[in-house]
Structure 1
């Protein structure tokens, strides 16, 4: 990490990375130089979740796309062409957007805090063995994860469920809108409750229990796997980002560990924000997964790809 809180653009060490964080209260963006030091000023667009008495907690995914566009316009100025070499994105964990075949959102982004699917956790318990599922996926059956939410959506909004071609996290939806392509970083996939933490691929038993197939989900990729725009949108609106790789969306917890310098199991990071968590990056998938753990993901070929956490989601 850099020794200064920030550095002027004229003194920044190339290459630069444009990093974007979509949190519970705002979308934020900042440039970082090769030393990890923030460059210049940040840009922040406040937002709020829509909360209702029935347990609804959502945000409009298209609104977030517009917020990120505002961040890009502020930070990716034309004079930085050739200096920005990557764009990275993290979002709050565990979200769901149902998307039709034309890429249009059929639902707002349903957040981790939305509790409308709570009663459908018991439906899942009738379909799968919770202990075995926990050991494979690293997640308990809980309203914060996608299986119960998908079962709820199919039961309560069948027309929407049938029209959905894909089910994406908010970060994946943003990339699909801006780049014309998308993928799920491992940590984002881990927060779905649909990932086999031992293989780093979608868990077939949970897909079946949730009523979807793998073709309705993005491919799971390493956080370091670059994505390139498949449309002219980026180059035409932000020339400084033409040809620049983007990286798959990751969860904010994973980003918090990396940003704090906790890149292995020697350091634990405490996050105190909308929810609280303790996280440590470990090599491989812990076995067995203890009761009370949050999402755990593992890709055998990835160093420190697993995130173990204790969260309000259980």
Structure 2
């Protein structure tokens, strides 16, 4: 039996799946990752990512799998990070995460230098302080030691783990589309922008498609992980690419919602969608684009409200699930703005924070729990409307899909059936195995693999409840007025 080792280097955890040649999961393991947050800044230690990969890899082989039976390693990971790495493959400082908007002033200076229209035309996206390009300028000016020591700057968490396994600095075109530096149609770095800003373009990694080989496991990495030296390691993809592939959307009008710590709504097309509130990515298949509305706030809202309401940390999710089962649509007039860590879309405001509206003496814990999740659902509805296409199919994936009441809330708020995939926590890691199969000639294209994930045994359909749809349609216009009202209270 031959196996593919797949990893998803996420924000809250690193998940690994050892997938057999008959598409069965031979082993799976998850290791949680710590995030450092202070004053709106969000960082992680890349060493913790690789430590998790080592731990998971050793667990694969502890079950009796032979290292010689692993035909390839492939990863997905969080995107839009700034990860400076020295010549010894060690980070020169913590990774600055995608949800950290500290480089707003630098973004404005770069837009003035290069021209905002040129930035948007080439990258296919708006330009702000959450992107790695302005963060790199911030690093040079605010932490010059870390900048000088960096031999390369990586964009995705999985890029760092690939570097540790292979000694190669590469990034995929999906994740690199979030850097604010890649020409999205030509799939190349705009090195002239770097030079104009006084930055070293030699620090950028090589660009590759997901199915292209990044390198092979080095003897040193083999000793740390248990793989054989020379095991192929493939470039893989940013998490949005993996999730889109796993969700099975492949035609105009098909949408996927991801409810991870952060979240997004994605659809696919044959070109970028030139709208200011839509993020465009190069997809895993060549010549295909993903049109994304990303959100800073999704599963983190569920985590926060569970911690806030539950009497203890242990069993907090079960406790809140019980509250949700007892709740009613509309939360008796209580509304929640879900922008706990600022927001990227459907509004662009890194300073805004969350808040409840409409709390009365009669408001219950059930109302507080449900309205928090309703707030995320309203935010997602606003994001879908901003894309400007009528959904023909909506699928749901991510950790939030494990909460049935939330799945129903989404169907009701969107007024559309929602298809929820089982085992969604691990599904993106499983789905990216397709890139290894494409690379090794086992399948002709990605759809041959993703079609196997779409059977009825893998999917539960939630149909909207008409009475709830009517109620949410009345509430939604009020929700849209909450952000403008609270904006005046946040920031400086």
TM-score range, shorter chain: 0.7 to 0.9
Partner of 2:18: 31
Aligned residue for 1:79, secondary structure, equals coil
Aligned residue for 1:177, secondary structure, equals helix
Unaligned runs of 5+ in 2: 296-343, 346-492
Partner of 1:175: 162
Aligned residue for 2:243, secondary structure, equals helix
> How far does the alpha carbon of each residue in 1:241-293 deviate from its partner, in whole angstroms, 9 at most, with x for none?
4432111142111101112223554632111222231112333x32x622112
CA contact (8 A) 1:147 1:210 kept: no
2:292 is the alignment partner of 1:296: no
The one of the two structures with greater contact order (alpha-carbon pairs below 8 A, sep at least 6) is 1
Distance (Å, rounded) in 2 between the aligned partners of 1:290 and 1:235:
46
Superposition RMSD in Å: 2.4
Higher Cα radius of gyration: 2
Quickly say closer, same or farther: Cα 1:173–1:210, change in 2 above 3 A.
Answer: farther
Distance (Å, rounded) in 2 between the aligned partners of 1:200 and 1:131:
19
Unaligned runs of 5+ in 1: 1-13
Distance (Å, rounded) in 2 between the aligned partners of 1:210 and 1:189:
19
CA contact (8 A) 2:165 2:217 kept: no
Distance (Å, rounded) in 1 between the aligned partners of 2:10 and 2:168:
22
Quickly say closer, same or farther: Cα 1:160–1:232, change in 2 above 3 A.
Answer: same
Partner of 2:145: 159
Partner of 2:402: none
> How far does the alpha carbon of each residue in 1:134-171 deviate from its partner, in whole angstroms, 9 at most, with x for none?
12102211122112101211221223222322111332
Partner of 1:4: none
> How far does the alpha carbon of each residue in 1:67-100 deviate from its partner, in whole angstroms, 9 at most, with x for none?
1110111114453334321211111111111122
Aligned residue for 2:268, secondary structure, equals strand
Greater CA drift, 22-31 or 94-103: 94-103
Scaled by the length of structure 1, the TM-score of the pair is 0.85
Partner of 1:117: 103
Aligned length: 295
Partner of 1:8: none
Distance (Å, rounded) in 2 between the aligned partners of 1:197 and 1:163:
29
CA contact (8 A) 1:150 1:210 kept: no
2:42 is the alignment partner of 1:57: yes
Quickly say closer, same or farther: Cα 1:264–1:184, change in 2 above 3 A.
Answer: farther
Greater CA drift, 87-96 or 260-269: 260-269
Scaled by the length of structure 2, the TM-score of the pair is 0.56
